Structure 1
Amino acid sequence: MSLHRATSALASSALISLTSPITPSTLQTLRNVLNRTPNASKNAITDTSLKSRHAAVLIPFCNVAGEPGILLEVRAKGLRSHSGELSFPGGRVDDTDESLISAALRETHEELGINPRRVEVLGEIGPPEMNLRGDMKVWPFVGFVHAADEKGLLPDEPFPSLDMDTLRSQVSPAEVATTIHLPLKFFAFPTRIRTSTFRGQQPYLVVDVTDLVQSALTDDATVTTNTSEEGETTSCRIEVWGLTGWYLSTLMKVLQVYR
């Protein structure tokens, strides 16, 4: 089935629900699926002097208002690169990081104020890709952000939802303009999905989040509308595209949201 047919029929084949809140059973399913991917990051940096040539991002699942989804951030307009674009939390590995996932969790804490203890790491997807400049390899990890210290939940009992107002109040304004919750059900809406080509080679799904971003932004914040990989403006829609869109699309393929 082709990528552009992102319909509810495709969504029905998903390994996890796109509408029911995430539960302990959901996390186990995610962990099982992700563990089928070789743990390529384990020995990724054999020479510690090369740490700065690696970066790591976290793809953070969570519940918001009883709906499953993924957190994304809008990069602050004052940043030197990719300002106003949508991204996952993460960044360059530094000398203090013990591992790639440590870097992703540290950056998530610095950018979104989410304590690493609240993130349950589930696995990784791959392979990693180079950044657009070609000087840094970016490793994508998957986790779940807990709203509280849940104890004794039954396997199918939903995890508590995050409060997005609280989360937005604690982001680092120097790095993040705002954060949004992308509901998984959006992948079942054909009007939200289109097909693009990652760096002119591989097809992937691009998701329209215009309304989500506009409702979350403050009056003085700006966001970059979608452009092609070559920098040509293709629409006035605010979309999850580029490397972030590629990783999101890859994850949805792993979860059989589309085939």
Structure 2
Amino acid sequence: MLSRTLITAAAHASTPHIQLSTSIISLTSPFTRGSLRTLQNAIIAHATTSKTPVTPGEVNAAVLVPLCNVDGVPGVLLELRGGKLRSHAGEVSFPGGRVDPADASFLAAALRETQEEVGLDHRQIDILGQFGPPERSLMGLRVWPYVGFVYPRGSHHTDTGSLDDPLPSISLSSLTISQAEVATVFHLPLSAFTSPARIRPDMFRAASPYWAIDVSDLVEGFEGVNDPPGHSEVSGGKEGRLEVWGLTGWYMSLLMRILKVYT
């Protein structure tokens, strides 16, 4: 839980007035079939009030929010983009990218990019739904986020057993990272989203409050980032930190609202 002091400080700073409530799933116990079902139902309920039509002629992109257990800890798999990329270099992001004409759907694009960037086969991923509304990136693409749970390679999805049995954990060393696009991948525990030591109030597009998450200590070899002029969202973070912020941070905060971690 956030301390009252931190919440009050955020309010006095005219930044996010986000408070914590009771999550609909555990932030510390491993994902189970039961917790994924609860999350899926919440995403479906959210989607009924946040549908966004596809605009003809608009350039679209799709990303996957890959939930997973690592060593029995629930969290999300994130990547640090390569430092030599032409756009969004050195940023924390989800796997994903531009929708190609050959892609059968936006979801197919997200799954294709996920396999290309981190080596996850679509058969390892149980798709839970799409949430939103999809926002434009600073490059002008409409970005559609999907949520999925990642199983270890060779592990079979099953509907047998107790709904409360922990689902298998993945090993980060088993991932095949695209050296051209991805510097590294890391696991961000769900508990980080309620850690006063990690969260920082920010404004998305100078209009909507959300929490940015400091992940500097989770990325091996991280040595700090340079703040861009004006602190735009195209950077690894603020004040030298590596953060989940900008569009990625906004989507994670939105998912935390769906989970009722944030209100």
TM-score (normalised: structure 1): 0.86
Structure 2 residues without counterparts, runs of 5 or longer: 9-18
Q: Which runs of structure 2 are paired with 1:59-98 in the superposition (5 Å)?
A: 59-98=65-104
Instruction: Determine the structure 1 residue equivalent to 2:170.
Output: 162
For 2:233 and 2:179, locate their aligned partners in 1 and report how far apart those are by CA, in whole Å: 28
> Is the partner of 1:5 in helix, strand or coil?
helix
Instruction: Determine the structure 1 residue equivalent to 2:7.
Output: 5
> Is the partner of 1:191 in helix, strand or coil?
coil
For 1:64 and 1:121, locate their aligned partners in 2 and report how far apart those are by CA, in whole Å: 18
For 1:13 and 1:54, locate their aligned partners in 2 and report how far apart those are by CA, in whole Å: 34
Identity of paired residues, percent? 47
Match of 1:130 among 125, 131, 136: 136
CA shift for structure 1 position 44: 2.4
Q: Which runs of structure 2 are paired with 1:10-159 in the superposition (5 Å)?
A: 13-36=22-45, 37-38=47-48, 40=51, 44=54, 47=56, 50=57, 53-133=59-139, 135-147=140-152, 148-151=155-158, 152-159=160-167
For 2:249 and 2:167, locate their aligned partners in 1 and report how far apart those are by CA, in whole Å: 26
- Count residues with an aligned counterpart: 242
> Is the partner of 2:115 in helix, strand or coil?
helix
Residue 233 of structure 2 contacts residue 245 of structure 2 at CA under 8 Å; is this kept in 1? no
Quick one: which amino acid aligns to residue 51 of structure 2?
A
For 2:129 and 2:233, locate their aligned partners in 1 and report how far apart those are by CA, in whole Å: 32
CA shift for structure 1 position 252: 0.5
Quick one: which amino acid aligns to residue 170 of structure 2?
L
For 1:146 and 1:226, locate their aligned partners in 2 and report how far apart those are by CA, in whole Å: 36
For 2:95 and 2:188, locate their aligned partners in 1 and report how far apart those are by CA, in whole Å: 14
CA shift for structure 1 position 223: 6.9
Query: Aligned pair 1:254/2:258, yes or no?
Result: yes
> Is the partner of 1:138 in helix, strand or coil?
strand
Structure 1 residues without counterparts, runs of 5 or longer: none
Match of 2:232 among 209, 229, 247: 229
TM-score (normalised: structure 2): 0.85
Distance 1:61 1:225, change over 3 A: farther
Distance 1:238 1:149, change over 3 A: same
Residue 127 of structure 2 contacts residue 148 of structure 2 at CA under 8 Å; is this kept in 1? yes
Deviations 1:165-221 (A, max 9, x none): 222xx11000101001000011221111110011111110000100001x2x4xxx8
